[in-house]
Structure 1
Amino acid sequence: MIIPAIDLIKGQVVRLHQGKFNLKRKYLYKPFFYIEKYLKQGAKKIHLIDLDGAKNPSEKQTSLLKNLSKINPISIQIGGGIRTKKDIDFILGLMPKAQIILGSSIIQNFNNVKKWFKLYNPYSLILALDIKFDINNKKIIFINGWQNKSNVIFEDIIEKFLDLGLKYVLCTDISKDGTLLGPNINLYNEIVKKYPEIFFQASGGISKLKDIKNLKKIGIKDIIIGRAFLEKIFSLKEANLCWQKE
């Protein structure tokens, strides 16, 4: 499906350019305005990232999440600063059907994340693997709101979680994110073929309806779109129609 993305800093909707906090675009309206707009246009799910929490888990936008939970109906996948079982239980307590996006904790708390796959339904957990290519064309994972290089390779994480029931992976090519330069089709084509049992979500650079067609053709299950919707390059309604036609 097509999933609209909302990234938040201090309660404000923003988009970062290639994950850089000093290169952020601020948008006019509060997150609730965009969420209601997307729901009216047929959104089945909202992708929400707390960038304050991603950068520093002690600064999570907790009160905002509480307000979001009052919107009905809303299906949400949420990430940013989720580091502990307590964080997961807090979100699921507010929104029982939410999907939890795990990013930095995969690298920093690997053993705990393995335990969470046994405690929770694997369909409710999404591994967010945000990558940059190194000089040897290896997919290196970045963490903490993309501020820190982990030296861990994308495929190594996938292999470790396959036997634990891994279902969802959100893969972002950081160099494409927020650029409107188009997604990394070669990247997604490669990983979909290599791991056909995983539901891959594509994120970063989507700027044309043709991008949606190309991603669906290669087997991507979900497409996360942020800036193109916020800047009215095309609407969610148009994106959904394009998805359904393919």
Structure 2
Amino acid sequence: MIIPALDLIDGKIIRLQQGDYRSSYEYGDNILAHLQTYEKQGAKMLHLVDLDAAKEPDKRQTKLIKYLVNSTNIPIQIGGGIRNYNDIITILDTGVKRVVIGSMAIKNSRLVKEWLKMFHPDTIVLAIDIRISGNNEKIVAINGWQEITYFTLEQIIQEFLDFGLKYVLCTDISRDGMLSGPNIDLYKEIVKRYSSIIFQASGGISSLQDIQELRCSGVQEVIIGRALLENKFTLAEAIKCWQNV
């Protein structure tokens, strides 16, 4: 399915360029209007990122999230600054359906494995952000993409496969927020290798052609942010394109 995305800072819609807080675009503060438009156009899931919480978990926009959940009939998944069990419970208590776990999968894999056991597989999405090296190594980046690790995408997926991992949101950092097209070869490769995982593609989508190619790559869910905000196409057009491939 096609999942529209909004990144939020201080109650405003923001898009970062390659995760850089110093390089951002602002799209106003009428978040609910965007969600309602997406709902009318056929969205079946919404993706939100709390960028305040990503920097400082104590600044999580909990009231805003709860308001948005209660104001729409569409399930919401949300990421940003999820560090512990209480963060997950706080978010789920707002009515959010899925929580997106990022850096903690590297920093404390044991804890994340416990979460995968505690919660239903439909509740946890593992976000793996990568930089691809010259020899096609998919190196994982954490902490808002500022820190490059020694782990590869394949190593992380393999580590969590036996613990109920179902959803993986995979982003090629070089494409995110750039409207330069998604990394189709990446998704073809990992979908073929890990057939039990539902992959969410994210980063670089700028045209309906991109959506057609992603559909053919085998990914089951596609997250689109900036292209919708900048009216490259409508969500309704994207959904129709996805369904007609």
Q: Tell me the TM-score range normalised by the shorter chain.
A: over 0.9
Large movers: runs of 4+ above 4 Å: none
Equivalence for 1:7: 7
Tell me how far apart the structure 1 counterparts of residues 114 and 156 of structure 2 sit (CA, whole Å).
15
Report the CA distance between 1:62 and its aligned residue: 2.1
Q: 2:6·2:14 contact (CA, 8 Å) conserved in 1?
A: yes
Tell me how far apart the structure 2 counterparts of residues 90 and 52 of structure 1 sit (CA, whole Å).
15
Tell me how far apart the structure 1 counterparts of residues 29 and 208 of structure 2 sit (CA, whole Å).
25
Tell me how far apart the structure 1 counterparts of residues 63 and 103 of structure 2 sit (CA, whole Å).
22
Equivalence for 2:159: 160
Tell me how far apart the structure 2 counterparts of residues 135 and 27 of structure 1 sit (CA, whole Å).
35
Equivalence for 2:117: 118
Q: 2:54·2:81 contact (CA, 8 Å) conserved in 1?
A: yes
Report the CA distance between 1:134 and its aligned residue: 2.8
Equivalence for 2:90: 90
Q: 1:51·1:145 contact (CA, 8 Å) conserved in 2?
A: no
Equivalence for 1:17: 17
Q: Structure 2-normalised TM-score?
A: 0.96
Equivalence for 1:237: 236
Q: 1:57·1:82 contact (CA, 8 Å) conserved in 2?
A: yes
Q: 2:177·2:203 contact (CA, 8 Å) conserved in 1?
A: yes
Q: 2:5·2:225 contact (CA, 8 Å) conserved in 1?
A: yes
Q: Structure 1-normalised TM-score?
A: 0.96
Q: What percentage of aligned pairs have identical amino acids?
A: 52
Tell me how far apart the structure 2 counterparts of residues 60 and 134 of structure 1 sit (CA, whole Å).
34
Amino acid at match of 1:158: I
Equivalence for 1:132: 131
**Any residues of structure 2 matched to 1:71-220 within 5 Å, and which?**
71-95=71-95, 98-220=97-219
Tell me how far apart the structure 1 counterparts of residues 29 and 59 of structure 2 sit (CA, whole Å).
22
Q: Which blocks of at least 5 consecutive residues in structure 1 are unaligned?
A: none
Tell me how far apart the structure 2 counterparts of residues 32 and 151 of structure 1 sit (CA, whole Å).
40
Q: 2:130·2:153 contact (CA, 8 Å) conserved in 1?
A: yes
Report the CA distance between 1:123 and its aligned residue: 1.7
Tell me how far apart the structure 1 counterparts of residues 145 and 30 of structure 2 sit (CA, whole Å).
24
Q: 1:127·1:170 contact (CA, 8 Å) conserved in 2?
A: yes
Q: 1:176·1:184 contact (CA, 8 Å) conserved in 2?
A: yes
Report the CA distance between 1:90 and its aligned residue: 1.1
Q: Counterpart of 2:16 in 1: which secondary structure? A: strand
Tell me how far apart the structure 1 counterparts of residues 136 and 241 of structure 2 sit (CA, whole Å).
32
Is 1:55 aligned to 2:55, yes or no?
A: yes
Equivalence for 2:27: 27
Q: Counterpart of 1:215 in 2: which secondary structure? A: helix
Amino acid at match of 2:68: L
Q: Counterpart of 1:28 in 2: which secondary structure? A: coil
Tell me how far apart the structure 1 counterparts of residues 214 and 42 of structure 2 sit (CA, whole Å).
20
Report the CA distance between 1:135 and its aligned residue: 4.0
| More off after superposition, 114-123 vs 67-76 | 67-76
| More off after superposition, 202-211 vs 138-147 | 138-147
Q: 1:50·1:80 contact (CA, 8 Å) conserved in 2?
A: yes
Q: 1:53·1:61 contact (CA, 8 Å) conserved in 2?
A: yes
Tell me how far apart the structure 1 counterparts of residues 153 and 58 of structure 2 sit (CA, whole Å).
27
